[in-house]
Structure 1
Amino acid sequence: MAQEWLDEQQQRTWRAWLTASELVPRVLDAQLQRDAGISHAAYVVLAMLSEAPGRSRRMSDLARRANQSQSRLSHTVARLEERGWVRRERSPEDGRGNVAVLTDVGWDVVRAVAPGHVAAVRAAVFDPLTEEQARALGDALELVLHGLDPDHSLRVEHGADAS
């Protein structure tokens, strides 16, 4: 059986994806470190809490939405708790699970940092593209995601304003 390699266009696209998937988070981390002293992973946790009813989510749901393992999320939330931006509570629904709650101070941080973060996302991803290219990129990524997670069990759909 002959080895099938990526053709030239596929190889170029694959390598561009690998590089972009490394550089975009690095650029966003740098912006968030500069503006708030936090990582992009920590910001995503804050953003997911800010979008939730009552600014709180079960830890298991938050881990899934933030694309973090339970262990990593626990460490992230602990660092955010040290800053007074998040607190953990027992679930008011069943008293068994834990929820993370965005504090008023954490909410102020999200509101202060979000405009710079949105600008950094726009500059890194969307400004180099035409509107048509941005739409095509979004459509292509949706197809890739569907192939990786056809039943949506590995991801959570985010609203149009999530970043």
Structure 2
Amino acid sequence: MNNPETLAAGSAETRWLSAEEQQLWLELREFSNGLSRTIDRQLAQDACLSGVEYAVLAAVSEAPPEGVRSGDLAAILSWDRSRVSHLLRRMEAKDLIGRCAASSDGRAQEITLTDLGWETIRSAAPGHVTMVRETIFDPLTVAQQEQLLTAIRCIRLAATDRGLW
């Protein structure tokens, strides 16, 4: 990404990465991919769940007792509605969630956890939080955690402002 001579012409305005920026970018990319794989592996091993299934169960478990609308769930997770809808169908087939028409709007669906869904999230959460703590928080000082939070927020805000997130 930092060698314009090896890339196609017509990119004279491209702001190429410096060697240090490229190193940081590659480290960030590998971190992101590795963290996603680690989360999926831990949850599959401990709870027969994927990371996205856990994310849905966690979000719905924090919703009011009447549930959360599927569109609101998509917004909470920052996912496309179609992705959420497809995943909810699979999770309903596994009896982890229930869907019913919202009382105030028959077109909307309220998502709730089934008894099996509650049992699954309650049994999965301790192992998951242990993995998160050991992987993310234990290696960092409190000051480093604060710096990481600030950096991540800056990146997300810039991406959101540009319509990328």
- The bucket for the TM-score relative to the shorter chain is 0.7 to 0.9
> Given that residues 101 and 107 in structure 2 are in contact (C-alpha distance below 8 angstroms), is that contact kept between their aligned partners in structure 1?
yes
Deviation sequence 1:40-64 (CA, Å, 0-9, x none) = 0010000000011116111111122
Cα-Cα RMSD: 2.1
CA distance in 1, matches of 2:73, 2:53: 12
| 1:146 aligns with one of 117, 134, 157 | 157
CA distance in 1, matches of 2:151, 2:22: 16
| 2:106 aligns with one of 55, 79, 95 | 95
| 2:73 aligns with one of 62, 81, 84 | 62
Q: Which runs of 4+ in 1 moved over 3 A?
A: 1-4
Q: Which has the higher mean CA deviation after the structures are superposed, 54-63 or 27-36?
A: 54-63
For these two proteins, the number of residue pairs brought into alignment is 154
Percent identical among aligned pairs is 36
Deviation sequence 1:7-50 (CA, Å, 0-9, x none) = 22211111111001100010000010011111100100000000
| 1:36 aligns with one of 41, 47, 66 | 47
- What 5-or-longer segments of structure 2 have no aligned partner? 1-11
Q: Which has the higher contact order (CA 8 A, sep 6+)?
A: 1
Normalised by the size of structure 2, how large is the TM-score? 0.84
Equivalent residues in 2 for 1:95-114 (5 A)? 95-114=106-125
Give the greater-gyration-radius structure (CA).
2
- What 5-or-longer segments of structure 1 have no aligned partner? 156-163
